[in-house]
């Protein structure tokens, strides 16, 4: 197996996932600045030209961070990061999707509509960047409430939902938002997840 990656939020989610499982697989950095992810070779692995991609020994390629994590969960079941049993798996999926489509998306949208790297790729709309920033900030308040009565987002155990939220917070702090003292529960959770050894993989993006 080989993981194609760059130092960016989605590949980092997969690397944290692997680190939590103490799984050591070959990783290869793709030179996005040189357009390597738009080459015919790479587009044959992922027609969207995005990272991460997990290439299996038989040449099969899996794109999409959560799809890759699902495959890895089956390869390395311990510790479970996608929940155990139908109910817990559904709860983990619920929180992961909420965070991915909310905080993670809003934070990424802010960057895509502001940073020079995306200038040539999309029509950047400053007003939309501000909307995305406001949305990301609102999600912090909501997450703070969600963490009031439990240790991790989906319950007692650290899961992929925490990884997605953690990576979004690392991306957005401090240029998009700040975790403020009033975010008592979110602060407690963020300090805990940031102290895990897995938090240091692939840098904070």
Ligand X SMILES: N[C@@H](CCC(=O)N[C@@H](CS)C(=O)NCC(=O)O)C(=O)O
CB 50 within 8 A of CB 59: no
Q: Is 98 helix (H, G, I), strand (E, B) or coil?
A: helix
Measured CA to CA, the distance from residue 36 to residue 102 in angstroms comes to: 30
Given candidates 3, 8, 72, 171, which one binds ligand X under the rule CB under 6 A? 8
The answer to whether residue 107 forms part of the interface with ligand X (CB under 6 A) is no
Q: Smallest distance, Å, CB 167 to ligand X?
A: 9
Binding ligand X (rule: CB under 6 A), the pick from 36, 55, 64, 192 is 64
* Nearer of residues 64 and 192 to ligand X, judged by Cβ: 64
Kindly state whether residue 147 participates in binding ligand X, applying the rule CB under 6 A: no
| Residue 65 vs 144, nearer CB to ligand X | 65
Binding letters toward ligand X, positions 25-44, x by CB under 6 A: -------x----x-------
Structure tokens at 187: 């602060």
Q: Does 9 bind ligand X (CB under 6 A)?
A: yes
Pairing type for strands 26-29 and 2-5 reads parallel
Q: Could you say whether residue 154 binds ligand X (CB under 6 A)?
A: no
Burial class (CB in 10 A: 0-12, 13-18, 19+), 137: middle
Q: How far is the CB of 169 from ligand X (least distance, A)?
A: 15
Match 């049993």 to its residue by tokens.
85
What's the DSSP call for residue 44? T
For residues 11 and 5, the answer to whether their CB atoms sit within 8 Å is yes
Binding site for ligand X (CB under 6 A): 8-10, 32, 37, 49-52, 64-65
């Amino acid at each position: 197996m080989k993981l194609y990656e760059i130092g960016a939020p989605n590949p980092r989610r997969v690397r944290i996932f692997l680190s939590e499982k103490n799984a050591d697989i070959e990783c290869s950095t793709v030179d996005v600045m040189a357009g390597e992810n738009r080459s015919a070779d790479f587009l044959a692995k992922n027609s969207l030209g995005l990272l991460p991609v997990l290439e299996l020994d038989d040449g099969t390629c899996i794109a999409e961070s959560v799809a890759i994590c699902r495959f890895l969960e089956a390869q390395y079941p311990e510790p479970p990061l996608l929940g155990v049993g139908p109910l817990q798996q559904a709860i983990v999926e619920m929180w992961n999707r909420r965070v991915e489509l909310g905080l993670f998306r809003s934070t990424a949208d802010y960057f895509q509509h502001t940073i020079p790297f995306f200038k040539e790729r999309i029509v950047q709309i400053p007003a939309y960047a501000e909307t995305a920033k406001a949305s990301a900030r609102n999600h912090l308040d909501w997450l703070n409430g969600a963490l009031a009565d439990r240790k991790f987002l989906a319950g007692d155990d650290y899961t992929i939902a925490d990884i997605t939220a953690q990576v979004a917070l690392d991306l957005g702090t401090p240029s998009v938002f700040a975790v403020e003292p009033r975010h008592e529960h979110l602060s407690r959770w963020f300090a805990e997840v940031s102290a895990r050894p897995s938090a240091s993989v692939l840098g904070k993006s």
